[in-house]
């Protein structure tokens, strides 16, 4: 026998133990049996991450979808993991070292990597632990880490295969360099941001005499200039092409070249060429044989390739110095304000330095084409749809992917260089090499590691055992749904599609659901640095995981952001907590009233009893339940989780709790017959609704569902079954008829409230006209009406009585509630009289104000108009109250 439930729901005593029970019972892994697999790959959080609202949102959405499909009988696998997050993790550990006044170079590569491992070992599982607190039902037994042996094998395999196909190459190009992280970045990792800059117009003296003006946003780079470019058709400069300028400050003669890439309409139409520090200049320089002089150290200080007096200056110091010297020399024509986009390191925010260096690249064109085709032919779809165009646009203009990073934490590039310059062989290998396959001499491995995303893009199959042909891989690849933030559409999603096609021959998922971002009320992204974050675990502590999930899911429509107020958790999360509590109490009530006879439950509510034993209210709640099954199922299928939550909320609170439970009380208490039917229907629809809500609020639904009598000990709502629509329950007539009853009760209650009838005081109700169907409905639910509206007598007849309230319902039913005997006429008259007097005074004053031409002529028109409207409104109220007084016979 189960003990009675306390009247207030306390998630803190329910959620933790329940989660552990689920986990111990192995509920999170795919079920055995024949269902279709349903696979979701969790976007692996950074191994050092602490759970924030972004994770909360992302994982709640995934969990809801996964729980939905699991209940529908599919063999559901939600696969979790963590990402080694090269730059981010290395930065964290470097900061720890800095606290000891050490750099990674002080401790050395091996020791440093050891330190990162030990750091990751102690803190690495934190976020996965935290995901448990929000109810994430992922299969922990398959948890991976992107630096695991298995995934490392996959990374090498992918690298080697791509190299064999000529899709991986080493090249000397301009890349985005972060002078703080000291590594190359991909184009995606250099985030373009608009900044207010300046456009400097510099005079470059011409060898032939006179000068040429060039415009630049980065005057300091002139120390590395090796030419000036103009457009070939530009009449202004045609004669100068082939001549030289004398580069100031460095005293170098550099050529003037003509190239189509120059836009004659920008600046002066003449561009200084710095091939080592600008991608366009590099390309132009290559075409014209211009030298590339790297004038910066890795830290972006001026290097020894520049004149001595600039050396060691930071690039922005160098800019000031260059500008000052040019001004002194009279070579600065002018400086204008200029807003333009500048790349920033996505990990540390430092302005990236375009830099010429040797890096490894993936040739993306051949990978992008089939990935684009998958979208174009509809195999891959995006929710919201418009995101698909962003995907297509990016793939259409894709550039090669710089995958080498000058870091120590990550997958070391599987390339070995022969020590013997005479051999010079470069070997790409699946296994570590100790000797050169060409000459047998010594080898050294490439110092660099791979971009973190080079391991992430493989996870849809590497996490399942690839390159081995495991049973998991055969069963669970490809997956179906990917749920993630739009920020990593290019970093991760598009690349997974490409990798899936390239290595597995199939796209890794068919639907990409891109949800919004969590923001504060000023629409700023929640972030640690802004201090506007909400800690999901704090919310769980205070309101429970179900409340957190409910708020997240119902606050976020497809394609919109989730706005929360960090300063007011109560207003954000109270609704979810209140709902859980409401459910708890509805459940307590239903369950505690099952002591009487209950008809045996078969399948849905429609199986419970004979149709002719059902009251109008029974048929109504069953029809509403059936509607809700259809609505919620459809909403989940369409990723409209907010609609699913709202539909279920409406059914449980507004229909079941507010109406049906109230309606059946006399039957439950034995005051009228039919208790067994009422119990059966109540339990059946409650059961269905709990199942519909389970993906949103797993804890409270499981707890209540498990207490419904007759459950096997090991039953779990997690395995459903998902409720099916039942044609027998659909009942438009019941919906309409009980709706009329509800409206009638509401009208009587409104009249009571309006006239201040004492709550306990009964009133009479006289229905003076109505359609036949409504007449039957009112007859059928007469007892309900009498009880819920506190009506002593309900009659159908015309009436001569004048004192009271009347209402007309939507179907034309008219209602009169005599009030002479129900209200304290003296008191009500006094109240109304006071109010009329008060308004009268206000109206008199207002009339005087508006009659005063001093006011009406001098005050602004809108002010006068506002005062006029006030008068009008008060006058109307005055009239209404006077009419009421007359009706009451005051």
Q: Which of residues 198-217 bind RNA (CB under 7 A)?
A: 199, 214-217
555 touches RNA (CB under 7 A): yes
Contact assessment for residue 635 and residue 641, using Cβ atoms and an 8 Å cutoff? yes
Q: How far is the CB of 383 from RNA (least distance, A)?
A: 11
Q: How far is the CB of 577 from RNA (least distance, A)?
A: 4
Q: Which of 753, 769, 773, 837 binds RNA (CB under 7 A)?
A: 753
Site string for RNA, 420-459 (x = CB under 7 A): ----------------------------------------
642 touches RNA (CB under 7 A): yes
**Number of residues near RNA (by CB under 7 A):** 83
- Residues present in the chain in total: 890
Q: How far is the CB of 236 from RNA (least distance, A)?
A: 12
Residues 47, 121: Cα–Cα separation, whole Å? 9
Please list, residue by residue across 453-488, b when 16 or more beta carbons sit within 10 angstroms of its beta carbon and e when fewer do. Answer: bbbbbbbbbbbbbbbeeeebbeebbbbbbbbbbbeb
- In the complex with RNA, which residue's Cβ is closer, 478 or 739? 739
Closest CA to 517 of 585, 453, 564, 472: 564
Q: Which of residues 568-607 bind RNA (CB under 7 A)?
A: 570-571, 574-575, 577-578, 580-582, 585-586, 588-589, 592
Closest CA to 517 of 53, 35, 11, 31: 53
Q: What are phi and psi of 764, to 5 degrees?
A: -95, 155
Q: Which of 487, 535, 607, 867 binds RNA (CB under 7 A)?
A: 487
Residues 827, 878: Cα–Cα separation, whole Å? 18
523 touches RNA (CB under 7 A): yes
- In the complex with RNA, which residue's Cβ is closer, 280 or 716? 280
Site string for RNA, 148-187 (x = CB under 7 A): ---------------------------------------x
804 touches RNA (CB under 7 A): no
Closest CA to 146 of 497, 478, 492: 492
Q: How far is the CB of 218 from RNA (least distance, A)?
A: 5
Task: Kindly write down the DSSP assignment for every residue of 560-581, as one continuous string.
Answer: --EE--TT-HHHHHHHHHHHHH
Site string for RNA, 648-667 (x = CB under 7 A): -----x---xx--xx--x--
- Three-class SS state of 464: coil
Tokens representing 700 are 């409270």
Q: Which of residues 322-341 bind RNA (CB under 7 A)?
A: 338, 340-341
Q: How far is the CB of 82 from RNA (least distance, A)?
A: 24
Q: Which of 182, 423, 646, 730 binds RNA (CB under 7 A)?
A: 646
Q: Which of residues 87-146 bind RNA (CB under 7 A)?
A: none
Instruction: Count CA within 13 A, CB hemisphere, residue 195.
Output: 14
- In the complex with RNA, which residue's Cβ is closer, 123 or 217? 217
Residues 238, 236: Cα–Cα separation, whole Å? 6
Contact assessment for residue 219 and residue 200, using Cβ atoms and an 8 Å cutoff? yes
Q: What are phi and psi of 812, to 5 degrees?
A: 95, -5
- In the complex with RNA, which residue's Cβ is closer, 121 or 596? 596
750 touches RNA (CB under 7 A): yes
Q: Which of residues 273-292 bind RNA (CB under 7 A)?
A: 278-280
- Binding piece for RNA, criterion CB under 7 A, among 65-73, 100-108, 492-500, 560-568: 560-568
Q: Which of 32, 265, 434, 857 binds RNA (CB under 7 A)?
A: 265
- Binding piece for RNA, criterion CB under 7 A, among 235-243, 309-317, 344-352, 559-567: 559-567
Distances (CA, A) of 718 to 69, 81, 137, 219, 690: 10, 22, 10, 64, 11
**How many Cβ atoms sit within 10 Å of the Cβ of residue 741?**
23
Q: What are phi and psi of 163, to 5 degrees?
A: -65, -40
Q: How far is the CB of 811 from RNA (least distance, A)?
A: 13
- What DSSP element (H or E) covers 187? none
Q: Which of 29, 150, 370, 486 binds RNA (CB under 7 A)?
A: 486
768 touches RNA (CB under 7 A): no
861 touches RNA (CB under 7 A): no
389 touches RNA (CB under 7 A): yes
Q: How far is the CB of 875 from RNA (least distance, A)?
A: 15
Residues 609, 676: Cα–Cα separation, whole Å? 9
Q: For residue 381, list its beta bridge partners.
A: 511
**How many Cβ atoms sit within 10 Å of the Cβ of residue 589?**
15
- In the complex with RNA, which residue's Cβ is closer, 657 or 689? 657
Site string for RNA, 216-245 (x = CB under 7 A): xxx---------------------------
- Residue 725's Cβ-count burial label (10 Å; 0-12, 13-18, 19+) is middle
- In the complex with RNA, which residue's Cβ is closer, 224 or 269? 269
Q: Which of 21, 172, 192, 334 binds RNA (CB under 7 A)?
A: 192
């Amino acid at each position: 026998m189960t003990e009675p439930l306390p009247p207030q729901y306390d998630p803190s005593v329910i959620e933790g133990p329940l989660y552990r029970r689920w986990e111990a019972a192995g509920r999170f892994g795919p079920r055995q049996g024949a269902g279709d697999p349903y696979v979701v790959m969790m976007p692996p959080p950074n191994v050092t991450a602490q759970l924030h609202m972004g994770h909360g949102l992302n994982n709640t959405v995934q969990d809801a979808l996964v729980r939905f499909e699991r209940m529908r009988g599919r063999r559901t696998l939600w696969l979790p993991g963590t990402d080694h997050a090269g730059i981010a993790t290395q930065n964290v550990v470097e900061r720890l070292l800095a606290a000891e006044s050490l750099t990674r170079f002080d401790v050395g590569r091996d020791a440093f990597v050891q330190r990162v491992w030990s750091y990751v070992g102690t803190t690495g599982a934190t976020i996965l632990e935290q995901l448990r607190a929000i109810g994430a039902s992922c299969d922990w037994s398959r948890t991976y880490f992107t630096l695991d042996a298995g995934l490392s094998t996959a990374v090498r395999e992918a690298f080697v295969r791509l190299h064999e196909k000529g899709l991986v190459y080493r090249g000397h190009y301009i890349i985005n360099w972060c002078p703080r992280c000291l590594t190359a970045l991909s184009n995606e990792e250099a985030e373009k941001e608009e900044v207010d800059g300046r456009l400097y117009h510099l005079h470059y003296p011409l060898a032939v005499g006179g000068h040429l003006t060039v415009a630049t946003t980065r005057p300091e780079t002139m120390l590395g200039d090796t030419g000036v470019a103009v457009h070939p058709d530009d009449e202004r400069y045609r004669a100068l092409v082939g001549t030289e300028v004398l580069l100031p400050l460095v005293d170098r003669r550099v050529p003037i070249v003509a190239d189509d890439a120059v836009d004659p309409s920008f600046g002066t139409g003449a561009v200084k060429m710095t091939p080592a520090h600008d991608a366009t200049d590099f390309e132009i320089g290559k075409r014209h044989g211009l030298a590339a002089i790297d004038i910066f150290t890795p830290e972006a200080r001026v290097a020894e390739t520049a004149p001595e007096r600039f050396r060691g200056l930071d690039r922005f110091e160098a800019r000031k110095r260059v500008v000052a010297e040019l001004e002194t020399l009279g070579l600065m024509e002018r400086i204008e304000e200029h807003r333009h986009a500048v790349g920033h390191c996505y990990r540390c925010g430092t302005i990236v330095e375009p830099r010429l260096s040797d890096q490894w690249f993936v040739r993306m064109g051949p990978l992008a084409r089939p990935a684009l085709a998958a979208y174009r032919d509809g195999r891959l779809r995006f929710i919201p749809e418009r995101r698909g165009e962003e995907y297509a646009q990016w793939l259409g203009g894709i550039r090669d992917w710089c995958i080498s990073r000058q870091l120590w934490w990550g997958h070391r590039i599987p390339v070995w260089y022969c020590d013997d310059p005479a051999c010079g062989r470069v070997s790409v290998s699946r296994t570590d090499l100790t000797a050169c396959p060409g000459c047998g001499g010594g080898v050294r491995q490439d110092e660099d590691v791979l971009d973190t995303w080079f391991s992430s893009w493989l996870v849809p199959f590497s996490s399942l055992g690839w390159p081995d042909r495991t049973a998991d891989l055969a069963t669970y690849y490809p997956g179906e749904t990917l749920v993630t933030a739009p920020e990593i559409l290019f970093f991760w999603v598009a690349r997974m599609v490409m990798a899936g096609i390239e290595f597995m021959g199939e796209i890794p998922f068919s639907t990409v659901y891109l949800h919004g971002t969590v923001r504060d009320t000023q629409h700023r992204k929640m972030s640690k640095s802004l201090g506007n974050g909400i800690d999901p675990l704090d919310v769980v502590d205070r309101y429970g995981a179900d409340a957190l999930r409910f708020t997240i899911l119902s606050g976020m429509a497809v394609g919109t952001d989730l706005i929360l107020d960090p300063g007011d958790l109560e207003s954000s999360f109270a609704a979810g907590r209140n709902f859980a509590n409401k459910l708890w109490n509805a459940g307590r009530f239903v369950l505690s009233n099952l002591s009487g006879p209950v008809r045996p439950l078969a399948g849905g509510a429609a199986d419970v009893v004979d149709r002719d034993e059902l009251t109008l209210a029974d048929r109504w709640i069953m029809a509403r339940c059936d509607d809700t099954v259809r609505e919620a199922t459809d909403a989940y299928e369409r990723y409209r989780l907010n609609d699913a939550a709202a539909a279920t909320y409406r059914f449980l609170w507004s229909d079941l709790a507010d109406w049906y439970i109230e309606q059946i009380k006399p039957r439950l208490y034995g005051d009228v017959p039919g208790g067994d039917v009422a119990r059966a229907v109540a339990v059946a629809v409650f059961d269905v609704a709990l199942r519909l809500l389970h993906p949103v609020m797993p804890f409270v639904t499981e707890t209540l569902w498990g207490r419904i009598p007759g459950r096997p000990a090991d039953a779990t709502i997690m395995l459903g079954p998902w409720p099916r629509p039942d044609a027998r329950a659909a009942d438009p007539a019941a919906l309409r008829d009980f709706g009329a009853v509800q409206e009638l009760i509401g009208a009587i209650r409104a009249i009571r409230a309006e006239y201040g009838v004492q709550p306990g005081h009964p009133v009479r109700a006289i229905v003076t006209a109505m359609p036949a169907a409504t007449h039957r409905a009112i007859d059928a639910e007469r007892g309900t009406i009498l009880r819920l509206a506190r009506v002593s007598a309900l009659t159908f007849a015309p009436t001569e009585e004048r004192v009271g309230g009347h209402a007309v319902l939507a179907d034309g039913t008219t209602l009169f509630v005599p009030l002479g005997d129900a209200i304290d006429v003296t008191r009500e008259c006094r109240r109304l009289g006071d109010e009329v007097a008060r308004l009268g005074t206000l109206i008199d004053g207002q009339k005087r104000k508006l009659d005063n031409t001093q006011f009406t002529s001098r005050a602004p028109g809108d002010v006068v108009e506002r005062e006029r409207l006030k008068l009008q409104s008060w006058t109307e109220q005055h009239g209404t109250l006077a009419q009421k007084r007359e009706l009451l016979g005051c």
